Amino acid sequence: MQYLNILIQELYKIFFLIIPILVSVALIVWLDRRVWGFVQKRRGPNIVGPFGLFQTLADALKYIFKEIIIPASANKIIFILAPIVTMTLALVAWAVIPLSEDLVLSNINIGILYLFAVSSLGVYGIIMGGWASNSKYPFLGSIRSAAQMVSYEVSIGIIIINVLLCVGSLNLTDIVLAQKNIWFVIPLFPMFVIFFISALAETNRPPFDLPEAEAELVAGYQTEYSGMMYAMFWLGEYANILLMCAMGSILFLGGWLPPLEIYPLDIIPAPIWMVLKILFLFFLFSIVKAIVPRYRYDQLMKLGWKIFLPFSLLYVVLTASFLFYFDMLPTKDFG
Amino acid sequence: MIIHAFFFYFFSIVAILSALMVITSRSTVNSVFFLILDFISIGCLFIMVGAEFLGIIILIVYVGAVAVLFLFVVMMLNVTHQKQSWFIGRKSTHIPSGLFVSIIILLELLVVVGGWKYKPNVMSSSTLQVSENISNTHLIGSVMYTDYFLYFQISGIILLLSMIGAIVLTYRKRENIKRQSYINQISREKKTSVEMKDVEFEKGVKIDD
């Protein structure tokens, strides 16, 4: 009985975390298309509901009623599992994202490692989908994306080390609280830029959307997917993008903290600051999608391994030596 | 505690079964997927005993990086066609030699594990003094970078050397291919790249050599 109570309480919390995320994913898809439209002097989706806000819901409804086609030569179990894995991993990571000092589902000590682990598992959804489709375009797309995601994870990992050196803890709440005096975007600005670009590559966003480059690969790993299974890939991708934005705002933009602790800014509740920062980063994401042409694949790999990796390693050495010589290393007494 | 035991047995059974499936499944790609499941359940077991740092590191390193590369190689090589069986179909030449090597490894393991004795003053895990206030990330760091500093550095150097070795083995210099050089592209000027030539009538001129 006692376990049942705990279970119900936790399920209740999870329910109230999942629903806002799914709704905000729907809204963010709309925002993305609107921004994209405005940059290109179009209107974007503006018919369904006020300002076209319900466009994504209408799309989702359309996908639900479409037939799911499974290719005859596909490996059925893995083919069905792939979108489920993508969607689940995109949602599971939100368990540790703190929206304010106490508004977090589980405040674990290794929050940032957990986020990193979940985002590095994200490649499986794509690789499984591409392989199980048993056709050329999806397979090439998934191979591309696996190489791309593994490469850019390395630089994201090293950027995280930079932040952790300044904080001295892997806890996401501690990381935000360490930015009370100054957001890490100011001392670690080059790392913020590299993080942003790596996040674009990690989530397969343009200009790094080579796994689904329509000119060469039709739709990459999604080619054989239809109906709701395609929609799950799509929602999972956007949930991942939101997650990357949340990660960026926690690591560099001070999470739920207001820019200055002065009167009109600090009465705005903490979760609203967090949401505003996520939205700001997402706005940058969609602007980049609208204005930057696609990279060539060898250039992408060269950028990851030969430019970002050495540069962020060098910055780790710089940060560590700066903190060491000015005696600013965060230490914890072991009593 | 019942829930704890339930999850422990669940993860252990999944780990053992998937390890069995790795070596028995016919398709190589399926083997790799079961290997991933095995890694994940082992990581969960680590988290259950309170070693959350090790558990997550297993997820990141083995599942997030090593297994992806395994999958990559297995998919690219298409090994399913090369699969041979000892009992059915063509006789394989790999299995007798593999059996020979594995019997030798088994004998070596028997020699090492059979002669294993615990030190008389070894600590049992229940008497270990672990403070609740310090996370095990801090504890691992404080041991690894003080008492075992040299071993840690040496293992790092061994890994670096093996990485360089692998790169040297697979590197081959390809000639007659065109590479993009950013420096050359940026430093191109009109003086060096445009040339006026007088072309004689009905003869043409040879360019680009």
**Is the pLDDT score of A277 beyond 70?**
yes
Query: Pick from A116, A127, A299: which is nearest to B60 by CB?
Result: A116
Q: Is residue A227 part of a domain?
A: yes
- A79-92 tens-digit pLDDT: 888 899 988 988 88
**Helix, strand or coil for residue A200?**
helix
Residue A292 lies in a domain: yes
* A30 CA: distance to closest CA in chain B (Å): 31
Domain-embedded: residue A189: yes
Query: Is A7 within a domain?
Result: no
Cβ-Cβ contacts under 8 Å for A64 (sequence gap 6 or more): A227, A228, A231
Domain that holds residue A142: 71-325
Measured between beta carbons, which residues in chain A are less than 8 angstroms from residue B33?
Answer: 78, 128
Does residue A83 have a cis bond before it (omega within 30 degrees)? no
How many structural domains does chain A have? 1
Task: State which residue of chain A sits closest to B71, comparing Cα positions.
Answer: A127
- ∠ CA B34-B27-A67, nearest 5°, is 80
Interface test with B, best of A121, A136, A142, A161 (most B CBs within 10 A): A121
Residue matched to tokens 């589980």: A106
- Closest residue, chain B, to A114 (C-alpha): B56
Beta carbons within 10 angstroms of residue A45's beta carbon = 20
Q: What is the mean predicted confidence (pLDDT) over A115-143?
A: 85
Q: Chain A: give the shortest CA distance to residue B136, in Å.
A: 9
Percent of chain B with pLDDT over 90: 22
> pLDDT class for B120, splitting at 50, 70, 90?
low
* CB-CB under 8 Å, A143 with B75: yes
> What is the rounded CA–CA span in Å between residue A285 and residue A291?
10
CATH class for the region spanning B1-81 = mainly alpha
Contact present, A291 and A205 (Cβ < 8 Å)? no
Q: In sequence order, which residues have a C-beta less than 8 Å from that of residue A32 and are 6 or more positions away?
A: A238, A282, A285, A286, A289
* Predicted ipTM of the assembly: 0.80
Q: Is residue B74 less than 8 Å (CB to CB) from chain A? A: no
Q: Residue A335 above 50 pLDDT?
A: no
**A56: exposed, middle or buried (Cβ count in 10 Å: 0-12, 13-18, 19+):** buried
Least Cα separation, residue A140 to chain B (angstroms): 10
Q: How many Cβ pairs closer than 8 A exist between chain A and B?
A: 66
Residue B112 identity: V
Give domain limits for chain B.
1-81, 137-173
Cβ–Cβ under 8 Å, residues A218 and A137: yes
Please, are residues A200 and A278 in contact by the beta-carbon 8 Å criterion? no
